[in-house]
C-alpha cells in the first residue's frame, strides 16, 4: 500500500514538472515571436521646421549742408530724429534694416561739409540707429571725400555707437571679416562694393579701406560668405546718376552676383528709384535685385530725387530631413517723400500722404515703376 502511494506521488511530481516545462517553453516561444516583430516609432524624417524673417533696406543718406543746418540745435549739436519720426513705424517693421550711409559721419571735429566733399554730424548715425537701422553700407563714391583719415574717424564713431558697417574697413582683418547677423535662426551675410571713389585714389598702404567692384574679389568673398550664412545680402553702388532705369552694366553685374551666390541686391547711386526684379541663379533659385533705392534723406529736391522708400522681402527657411532650403517671398515697397520748405523743415513722409508739389498722384506711378517686373 505504501509503495503505491509513493509511486503516485512520484508520478504527480513528474507530471507537474513536465507541465511546467511545457508551459514555460510555450511562453518563451511566444516572447520570441513578439521580439521578432518590428518596433513602431513616430516618424522623424518627414518632420518640417519653418522659420522666417523680413529684411528691409532704404536708400542714400546724403546729408547736404542745408540738411544738417536744419538739424542744428546749438553750435555743435544736431538732431535728425524729428526728420525720421513720421516713417519710423515702417522702419521698425523689418527684422533687419539696412541703410546706405553715403556721407561719412566723422563729426564736427574735422569740420562739417556738404557737396562735393561730404562730412556729416555724428548725430545722423544716432538718429538712424534709434529709428531702427541695424547695419549701414559705407562703400560708395563719397567714401574718401575727406581722405582716409575722415573715413577712419567715421568708422570709429560707428563702432562707438555699435552700429555695424560694411564696405569700408579699418584694417585688412576687418575687411576679411564677413558681417553676419542672425535672427530667428537665420544667418544673414552682408557685403558692400562701389564702382569707385570719385577719382580719389585708394592709399597703397590701405588697400582694404573701401571695397571696389571687382568680379574676382566678389566671387571669392561670396564663396566665403556662403559657408557662413544662410543668405547673402549685397549693397552695390553702381549705375548712372538720375537715370530711372538700370543700364546694361548693372543688369550684367547683378546676374553675375546672383549666379555666384547673392540672394538679395540693394543698389544705390542713381539718386532716383530703379525697379525691383526677380533673377534666377544657375541652380534655378530666385534672387531679388532692387537696382536703386534712390535718395532716402538728402538735400536734393528735383523731380524724383526726393522720392525714395523702404524695400522689404521675407526670407523663409525650411528644414526637412536635416536639409535647409531658403526661399524669398512677398517683396514689397513703401515709398517715401523727402519734404522740405525752402531748404528748411526737412522731414521724411509716406508718399501716399504727400499733398504738396502735385505729388499725391505719384503714389501709383511710383509703385507701378518699382513693382512692374515682379508680376
Q: Which tens digit of pLDDT belongs to each residue from 247-277?
A: 999 999 999 999 999 999 999 999 999 999 9
Instruction: Evaluate whether 360 touches 320 at the Cβ level (below 8 Å).
Output: no
pLDDT grade for 300, boundaries at 50, 70 and 90: very high
Q: How high is the pLDDT of residue 38?
A: 37
CB distance 151 to 144 below 8 Å: yes
359 band by pLDDT with thresholds 50, 70 and 90: low
- The rounded percent of the chain whose pLDDT value lies above 70 is 86
Residues of the chain above pLDDT 90, percent: 80
Do the bridges between strand 273-280 and strand 231-237 make them parallel or antiparallel, or are there none, so unpaired? unpaired
**What pLDDT score was predicted for residue 3?**
45
The pTM assigned to this predicted structure is 0.86
The β-bridge partners of 298 are 62
Q: Domain spans of the chain? A: 50-371
pLDDT of residue 48: 85
Least confident among 115-119, 298-302, 306-310: 298-302
pLDDT, one tens digit per residue, over 100-109 is 999 999 999 9
Return the exposure string of 241-279: e unless at least 16 CB atoms fall within 10 Å of the residue's CB, then b: eeeeebeeebeebbbebbbbbbbbbbbbbbbbbbbbbeb
Please, what is the Cα angle at 266 between 263 and 271, to 5 degrees?
Answer: 165
Higher pLDDT, 12 or 189: 189
* Distance from the first to the final alpha carbon of the chain: 109
- Give the mean pLDDT of 232-239: 99
pLDDT of residue 302: 85
Q: Which whole-number Å values give the CA distances from 247 to 118, 193, 242, 286, 374, in the listed order?
A: 27, 17, 12, 21, 18
What pLDDT, in 10s, does the model give residues 312-342? 999 999 998 888 899 999 999 999 999 999 9
Architecture field, domain 50-371: 4-Layer Sandwich (3.60)
Q: Does residue 17 carry a pLDDT above 80?
A: no
- pLDDT at res. 40: 36
Pairing of strands 347-350, 96-101: unpaired
| pLDDT higher than 90, residue 350 | yes
Looking at residue 41, what is its pLDDT? 35
Asked if residue 39 has pLDDT above 80, the reply is: no
Bridge partners, 242 (sequence order): none
Closest CA to 57 of 333, 242, 317: 333
- Quote the pLDDT of residue 16: 52
Which 3 state secondary structure label does DSSP give 48?
A: strand
Helix (H, G, I), strand (E, B) or coil at 237: strand
Per-residue model confidence (pLDDT) at position 45: 52
- The pLDDT-based confidence of 36 (bands split at 50, 70, 90) is very low
- Is the pLDDT score of 5 beyond 50? no
What backbone phi and psi angles, to 5 degrees, belong to 6?
-60, -45
pLDDT confidence band for 362 (50 / 70 / 90): confident
Query: Distance between CA atoms of 237 and 259, rounded to whole angstroms?
Result: 19
Average per-residue pLDDT in the chain? 90
Mean pLDDT of 347-353: 93
Residues in the chain: 375
Lowest mean pLDDT among 7-16, 24-33, 192-201: 24-33
* Beta strand ranges found along the chain (DSSP E): 48-62, 96-101, 135-137, 165-166, 179-183, 186-194, 231-237, 264-268, 273-280, 286-293, 295-298, 307-320, 323-339, 347-350
Residue among 80, 92, 99, 216 at smallest CA distance from 166: 99
Higher-confidence residue: 173 or 21? Answer: 173
Across 77-103, average pLDDT = 98
Does residue 374 sit in helix, strand or coil? coil
pLDDT band of residue 46 (cuts 50, 70, 90) is low
Amino acid at each position: 500500500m505504501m509503495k503505491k502511494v509513493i509511486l503516485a506521488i512520484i508520478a504527480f511530481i513528474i507530471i507537474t514538472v513536465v507541465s511546467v516545462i511545457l508551459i514555460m517553453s510555450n511562453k518563451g516561444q511566444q516572447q520570441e515571436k513578439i521580439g521578432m516583430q518590428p518596433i513602431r516609432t513616430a516618424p522623424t524624417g518627414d518632420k518640417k521646421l519653418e522659420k522666417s524673417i523680413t529684411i528691409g533696406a532704404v536708400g542714400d543718406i546724403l546729408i547736404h549742408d542745408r540738411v544738417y543746418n536744419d538739424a542744428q540745435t546749438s553750435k555743435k549739436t544736431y538732431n535728425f530724429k524729428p526728420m525720421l519720426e513720421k516713417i519710423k513705424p515702417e522702419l521698425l517693421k523689418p527684422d533687419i534694416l539696412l541703410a546706405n550711409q553715403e556721407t561719412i559721419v566723422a563729426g564736427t571735429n574735422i569740420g562739417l561739409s556738404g557737396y562735393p566733399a561730404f562730412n556729416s554730424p555724428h548725430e545722423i548715425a544716432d538718429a538712424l540707429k534709434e529709428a531702427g537701422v541695424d547695419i549701414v553700407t559705407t562703400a560708395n563714391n563719397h567714401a574718401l571725400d575727406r581722405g582716409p583719415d575722415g573715413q577712419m574717424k567715421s568708422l570709429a564713431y560707428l563702432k562707438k555707437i555699435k552700429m555695424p558697417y560694411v564696405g569700408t574697413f579699418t584694417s585688412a582683418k576687418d575687411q576679411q571679416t564677413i558681417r553676419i547677423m542672425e535672427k530667428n535662426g537665420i544667418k544673414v551675410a552682408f557685403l558692400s562694393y562701389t564702382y569707385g571713389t570719385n577719382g580719389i585714389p585708394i592709399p597703397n598702404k590701405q588697400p582694404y579701406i573701401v571695397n571696389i567692384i571687382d568680379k574676382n574679389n566678389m566671387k571669392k568673398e561670396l564663396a566665403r560668405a556662403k559657408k557662413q550664412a544662410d543668405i547673402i545680402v549685397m549693397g552695390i553702388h553702381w549705375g548712372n546718376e538720375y537715370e530711372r532705369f538700370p543700364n546694361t552694366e548693372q543688369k550684367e553685374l547683378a546676374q553675375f552676383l546672383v549666379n555666384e551666390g547673392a540672394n538679395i541686391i540693394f543698389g544705390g547711386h542713381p539718386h532716383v528709384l530703379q525697379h525691383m526684379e526677380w533673377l534666377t541663379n544657375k541652380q534655378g533659385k530666385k534672387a531679388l535685385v532692387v537696382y536703386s533705392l534712390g535718395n532716402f534723406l538728402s538735400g536734393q529736391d528735383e523731380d524724383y530725387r526726393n522720392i525714395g522708400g523702404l524695400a522689404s522681402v521675407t526670407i523663409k527657411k525650411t528644414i526637412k530631413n536635416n536639409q535647409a532650403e531658403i526661399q524669398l517671398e512677398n517683396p514689397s515697397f513703401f515709398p517715401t517723400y523727402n519734404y522740405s520748405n525752402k531748404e528748411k523743415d526737412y522731414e521724411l513722409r509716406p508718399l501716399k500722404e504727400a499733398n504738396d508739389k502735385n505729388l499725391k498722384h505719384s503714389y501709383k506711378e511710383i509703385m507701378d515703376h518699382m513693382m512692374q517686373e515682379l508680376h
